[in-house]
Amino acid sequence: MSKPRIAIVVGSTRAARFADAPVEWIAKIARQHADIEVEVVDLRDFPMPFFEEVASSAWVPSENEVAQRWQKKVAGFDGFIFTAAEYNHAPTGVLKNALDYAYTEWNKKPAGFVGYGGVGGARAIEQLRQISVELQMAPVKSAVHITLGDFLAVRQGEKKLEEIDHLNQAAHALVNDIVWWATALKKARDAEVVEAEAEAA
Question: How much is the mean pLDDT over the chain?
Answer: 95
Burial class (CB in 10 A: 0-12, 13-18, 19+), 166: exposed
Q: Which pTM value belongs to this model? A: 0.95
**Structure confidence by residue, pLDDT tens digits, 145-171:** 999 999 999 999 999 999 999 999 999
Mean pLDDT of 28-43: 97
**Structure confidence by residue, pLDDT tens digits, 57-73:** 888 988 899 999 999 99
